[in-house]
Structures are given as structure tokens and as C-alpha cells.
Amino acid sequence: MTHKILVMPGDGIGPEIVTEATRLLNALRERFGLDAELEKAPIGGAGYDAAGEPLPEQTLKLAREADGLLLGAVGGPRYDELPWEKRPERGLLAIRAQLELFSNLRPAILYPQLASASALKPEIVGGLDIMILRELTGGAYFGKPRGIDTREDGVRQGYNTIIYSEPEIERIARSGFDIAMKRDRRLCSVDKANVLEVSQLWREVVERVAKDYPDVALSHMYVDNAAMQLVRAPKQFDVIVTENMFGDILSDAAAMLTGSIGMLPSASLDAHGKGLYEPIHGSAPDIAGQGLANPLATLLSVAMMLRYSLNEEAQAARVEAAVGRVLDDGLRTPDIWTQGCDKVDTQTMGQAVVAALSD
Ligand SMILES: NC(=O)C1=CN([C@@H]2O[C@H](COP(=O)(O)OP(=O)(O)OC[C@H]3O[C@@H](n4cnc5c(N)ncnc54)[C@H](O)[C@@H]3O)[C@@H](O)[C@H]2O)C=CC1
Ligand SMILES: CC(C)CC(=O)C(=O)O
Ligand SMILES: [Mg+2]
């Protein structure tokens, strides 16, 4: 069956890195028999420019019809003054919500070739392979009420609401336990239950779900400590499950353990395996259009799409092996460059991965 893949480049470095992902997918089609057709649609600032909406109706329609979704990144200073409903970031949140992509897998893996690019010493971080599972359709980014208004005494105030229902917590907890069962069977649930009622409920529900997974060692940790422990001794973690905003922040921190935020892919899944795949980073306006962006997080996101949504494990492994080979050859974009390696631009890196694909 032909896989329908929708690519949504978005803004900033989005189009540059998605160009490399498209090059990769086309190579898999032409040289390795991947049966797939690609379509392209605007989202984020590009959606606003094209259709006046950060998630145009036509993009959402195509997304619903596709088997796999690939996204670059959204946002940029050009759009920062827009009202919330029109902002690029709103388009991203909207597609996640509309497609019920509640389960966001963010693997943080240190490639051995990048040991010297990590923010931590090799003896602390060597062999790092953790999975951060972030709840993606609840919490502060979606809770209502939200806004900025003026109190009766004339003082302006801004507010958001962190809200989670029991079923929302339960389904992400189950995802966390299921993932842990396929790994080292250790799950750390991260919350702020010493201060937040929403976290107290989170902890209660996670404990309840744990009864169905007696083989998984469950622990709990407050998010402030978790941030510190990630930097102090990251290998103590196997799977981390946490709410939307905590996961957003912790995964950016974890990225630096792997050398760069340009190395971390992600999968955002619904309950049936449909997924949106994207690097965890943003649109990086500071380096956009200069060939400086690392495309590897996006290419590794393609691998995740092949594995999780398209059932193409061999193709996924092929992509990951090619990334490993290119790193073996010493090619580095500036964000992961260290002494003795070859500094290359976005396109050269993408072409090298394609050239390194093999049986
Ligand atoms: N999923 C998405 O589409 C996301 C969008 N954003 C949006 O992106 C815009 C910029 O946000 P920032 O806070 O600056 O975060 P960012 O992740 O875009 O950039 C943070 C830093 O990492 C660098 N960086 C990011 N990706 C890189 C790559 N592939 N290769 C090399 N260096 C890379 C950037 O140059 C920058 O110095 C904002 O409009 C923000 O709302 C932010 C995070 C996620
Ligand atoms: C629009 C933001 C929620 C995007 C982001 O920072 C992320 O998903 O990591
Ligand atoms: Mg983020």
C-alpha cells in the first residue's frame, strides 16, 4: 500500500531541514523501494501568509488523510505581534489537538561519535539512551481560562491554567508504562506534587496505573530536581513521563547531553499510531537561511515516522545507520562541530546521509 506522507516545512529553518528530509524520502523511494507519495502543505507563519490561518483548513484536511506527517518548525519574529489565534505556534498546537496527538516521544540518545560535543563529560553521559515521554495536548498550553486582562483596580494581569483530567493522565501514563516495558522497565514520573494539585492528581493516577505493570519499577521526582538530575547523572533515567510544559523544558535540556538540539527527533502519536514527526527544536530565526541548521533531528524524525506510523522498520534502521556512518566520517554541522571534524552546511549533511544509505 502506498504511504501518504504530508510534509509541512513551516518557518525559519523549517524549509531548509525539510528539504533534506524530502531528499531522503525520495532516495528511499527511488533506490530502496519505499512505496510512498509526498504532498506539501503550509503551517505556522507560512500558513498565515498563504491562507490567513496558522493551520489552514486544507492543511488539516490533508493531515487527516495522510499516513505520516512531517513538520519542520514554526514561528519567527515576523509573527510575534499577531494575536494568539493567528500566531504560528497556535497552528502547531491546533494540529496536535485536532489529531489528538497526546503522546510525544522524545528520545535523547548520545551517538558515541559525538561524545566530545556533549555538554557533559563522557564518563557521565557515555551510552546515554533515555526516552522522555511528554503529554502533548493538555496542561498550560491548552487550559482555559487564559489571557491578559485588566483587574478592577486597573492592574493588568496575565494568566494560564494547568488542567488535566484523570483520563488524560491515565492514557499518557499507560503509554509511559508500555514504552518502559519495551526498554529497561524503569519509569520516572516527573511532577510538582509538593505544590500543584494537578500534580497530586497526576501522581495518584500514575500510581493506580502502575498496578497493571508490576514489572516496571516506578519512581516519582519533582521537576526541579529532575532538571538537576538530568545534568548531574542522566543515565539514572530510562523513561521519563511528564506533563506538557515540564516535558517541553526537560527535553530541550536533555538535548544538550546529546551534543545539540539539532540531534533530537520526536514522534507525536494518537491512540492508534497515527503520528506527526518533527525535530524538537524551533524555527531558529537566528541561523535561518544560512545553511547552518543541523538537519539530523529531522532525518531521525523521518526514521521514527517509518518505524511508528508506516511499519517500515528496515527503512527506519537504514536511515539511522546512514546517520551513524556520516558521523563516523567526521561530518559535522557547526552546532556539533569539534576539533578535527569537517564542518559542513545543512545541504552537504543531508546529501551525505542520502549517499550513506545502503542495504
Ligand atoms: N516545534 C516548533 O515548531 C517550535 C517552535 N518554536 C518557535 O521557534 C522560534 C525560535 O524559538 P527559540 O526559543 O529560539 O528556539 P529554537 O529551538 O528555534 O532555537 C534555540 C537555539 O537552538 C539553535 N538551533 C535550533 N535548531 C537548530 C538546528 N537544527 N541546528 C542548529 N542549531 C539549532 C538556534 O539557532 C538557537 O540558537 C520561536 O518563534 C518559537 O516559538 C520553538 C520551539 C519549538
Ligand atoms: C509551540 C511550542 C509549544 C513548541 C515547542 O516548544 C515544542 O513543542 O517543543
Ligand atoms: Mg520546545
Buried b (16+ CB within 10 A) or exposed e, 318-349: bbbebbebbbeeebbbbbbbeeebeebbbebb
Whose alpha carbon is nearest atom 43 of ligand 1?
282
pTM for the complete prediction? 0.98
CA dihedral sign, ordered 265, 240, 285, 53: positive
* Residue 135 in contact with ligand 2 by CB distance below 6 A: no
Pocket test for ligand 2, best of 248, 251, 281, 298 (most atoms within 8 A of CB): 248
152 C-alpha vs ligand 3 centroid, how far in Å?
35
Tell me if 1-102+264-359 shares its fold with 119-258. Answer: yes
Q: What is the pLDDT of residue 351?
A: 98
3.40.50.880, 3.40.718.10, 3.40.50.720, 1.10.3720.10: CATH of 1-102+264-359? 3.40.718.10
Ligand 1 pocket list (CB less than 6 A): 13, 73-76, 89, 92, 260-262, 278, 281-287, 293-294, 297, 335
For the question of residue 178 being annotated catalytic, the response is no
For the question of residue 345 being annotated catalytic, the response is no
User: CB under 8 Å, gap of 24 or more: what pairs does 48-54 form?
Assistant: 48/79, 48/82, 48/86, 48/88, 48/91, 52/86, 53/86, 53/91, 54/86, 54/87, 54/88, 54/89, 54/90, 54/91, 54/92, 54/94
- The CA distance from 270 to 274, in Å, is 6
Whose alpha carbon is nearest atom 6 of ligand 2?
248
- Listed by start position, the domains of the chain span 1-102+264-359, 119-258
Which position among 129, 178, 252, 345 bears the catalytic label?
252
* Residue 89 in contact with ligand 2 by CB distance below 6 A: yes
Whose alpha carbon is nearest atom 2 of ligand 2?
89
User: Average pLDDT of each block of 10 consecutive residues along the chain (359 residues)?
Assistant: 97 98 98 98 98 98 98 98 97 98 98 96 97 98 97 98 98 98 98 98 98 98 98 98 98 97 98 96 98 98 98 98 98 98 98 97
Name the closest ligand to CA 334: 1
For the question of residue 274 being annotated catalytic, the response is no
Class of domain 119-258: alpha beta
The helix (H) or strand (E) run that includes residue 209 is helix 197-210
Which position among 67, 191, 248, 335 bears the catalytic label?
248
Which position among 48, 67, 192, 238 bears the catalytic label?
192
Would the annotation count 282 as a binding residue?
yes
For the question of residue 153 being annotated catalytic, the response is no
Q: What is the pLDDT of residue 1?
A: 87
